[in-house]
Amino acid sequence: MRKTTWIAGIAALILSASTLAADAIGDTISIIPADKLEWKDYPGLPGVKFVVVNGNPREAGPYTIRAKFSPGTMSRPHWHPETRYVTVLQGTWWAGAGEKLDPEATVPVPAGGFAVHTAGKVHYDGAKDEEVIVQISGIGPSGTNIVTPAAQ
């Protein structure tokens, strides 16, 4: 098995990790309206857009990102060095495990559902017949490592 770091995607996360314009209630609560989120294409994965909502995934500390999958878009098998916590905000998100991409072997996680990506474990996920939006939180530094199965 050969592992390749998805450098372009991580670079994009770094570039977009700036603080979003937020409304505030004094110094107590910062509010980011949905229409202020600036979605960007996720490099190397057509059909996926993302936005860093809070923190910087490349630095030590908590972060929150959102990912939007177009219908029929699945990520390639990959793993992360940190545990990630995923809440499905819209649609049904499909999650699978293992080094071979098999959309038919995925498990549905409907809107409101929650999943945990265990650090270092290979998985893939995405949308089947509808747009899906997930919110992902973790403690950085983060990374995405694509898995390429060994030649048979």
CB atoms within 10 A of CB 89: 17
Q: What is the pTM of this model?
A: 0.81
List the chain pLDDT tens, one digit each, 152 residues: 444 444 334 444 444 444 455 676 777 888 889 998 999 999 888 999 999 999 999 999 999 999 999 999 999 999 999 999 999 999 999 999 999 999 999 999 999 999 999 999 999 999 999 999 999 999 999 999 999 865 43
CB 97 within 8 A of CB 123: yes
List beta partners, residue 45.
none
